[in-house]
């Protein structure tokens, strides 16, 4: 089955933009930002990763050339504005939409790098950067501990697995619409299960304790 990369990349990108935009607006609503703040945070998280990707690839960011990229943040902001009071009790919604954006962006970032001739290793790294970049900007702007650096959570690893799978399928000539959906499902499931089961990777310091920055006694990592 032939995979129409030019069209598919845009649609996958737009879907990822929407998922990330909803996560940004949900966080803005929880932080009691106003409507403008919600739109800005939704735009930052949904477009930031793609802008970083395109700058690294030395191309004009798609968000600046295709007006369609501006629609998902606006739609997400309006959607959350009217529905937040009804869904705010579902605390996992932010994670679910963020996981959806992560799953799609690790694929599109990797694909765009590969189609422009980047080597497979660099393409995987750029796919991860595309996936986590927007979320990092969102959390910093909202004065939250970035999920990327949270020792109690897995964030970059699911994105890395998706980027690596995408690259493998591309190199072996097996990448198509069906395998793209399969990769997205794997990354989404990995991210959600890791969050629900509190999976984490080992700390940068060996052992269960770390030494305080002032040289004092070791303190447990909570």
DSSP, collapsed to helix, strand or coil, labels residue 199 as coil
The CA-based dihedral angle spanning residues 58, 60, 61, 67, taken in that order and rounded to the nearest 10 degrees: -170
Contact between residue 177 and residue 3 where contact means Cβ atoms under 8 Å apart:
yes
pLDDT of residue 7: 76
Residues of the chain with pLDDT > 70: what percent? 90
CA distance 187 to 12: 14
pLDDT of residue 209: 52
Place of tokens 């700390």: 203
89 — pLDDT class (breaks 50, 70, 90): confident
Average pLDDT of the residues of the chain = 88
DSSP, collapsed to helix, strand or coil, labels residue 211 as strand
Q: Is the pLDDT of residue 90 over 90?
A: no
The alpha carbon of 99 is separated from its chain's Cα centroid by a whole number of angstroms, namely 7
Contact between residue 25 and residue 43 where contact means Cβ atoms under 8 Å apart:
no
Residues 96-116 have pLDDT tens digits of: 999 999 999 999 999 999 999
Residues 45-65 have pLDDT tens digits of: 999 999 999 999 999 998 899
CA distance 206 to 147: 21
> Residue 59 — φ and ψ, nearest 5°?
-125, 160
CA distance 36 to 187: 31
Contact between residue 106 and residue 159 where contact means Cβ atoms under 8 Å apart:
yes
CA distance 105 to 26: 19
Residues of the chain with pLDDT > 90: what percent? 72
173 — pLDDT class (breaks 50, 70, 90): very high
Average pLDDT over residues 191-201: 91
The CA-based dihedral angle spanning residues 120, 57, 51, 76, taken in that order and rounded to the nearest 10 degrees: -50
pLDDT of residue 4: 55
pTM: 0.86
């Amino acid at each position: 089955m032939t995979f129409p990369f030019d069209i598919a990349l845009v649609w996958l990108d737009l879907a990822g933009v929407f998922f990330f935009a909803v996560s940004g607006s949900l966080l803005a609503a929880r932080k009691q930002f106003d409507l403008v703040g919600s739109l800005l945070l939704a735009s930052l998280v949904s477009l930031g990763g793609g802008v970083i990707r395109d700058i690294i690839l030395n191309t004009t960011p798609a968000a600046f050339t295709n007006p369609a990229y501006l629609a998902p943040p606006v739609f997400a902001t309006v959607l959350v504005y009217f529905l937040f009071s009804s869904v705010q009790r579902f605390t996992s919604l932010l994670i679910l939409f963020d996981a959806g954006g992560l799953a799609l962006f690790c694929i599109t970032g990797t694909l765009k790098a590969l189609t422009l001739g980047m080597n497979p290793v660099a393409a995987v790294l750029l796919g991860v950067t595309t996936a986590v970049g927007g979320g990092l900007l969102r959390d910093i702007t909202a004065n939250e501990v970035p999920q990327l650096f949270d020792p109690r959570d897995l964030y970059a690893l699911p994105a890395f697995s998706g980027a690596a799978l995408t690259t493998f399928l591309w190199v072996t000539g097996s990448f198509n619409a069906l395998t793209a959906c399969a990769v997205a499902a794997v990354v989404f499931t990995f991210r959600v299960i890791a969050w629900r089961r509190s999976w984490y990777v080992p700390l940068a310091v060996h052992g269960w304790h770390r030494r305080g920055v002032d040289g004092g006694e070791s303190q447990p990592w909570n």
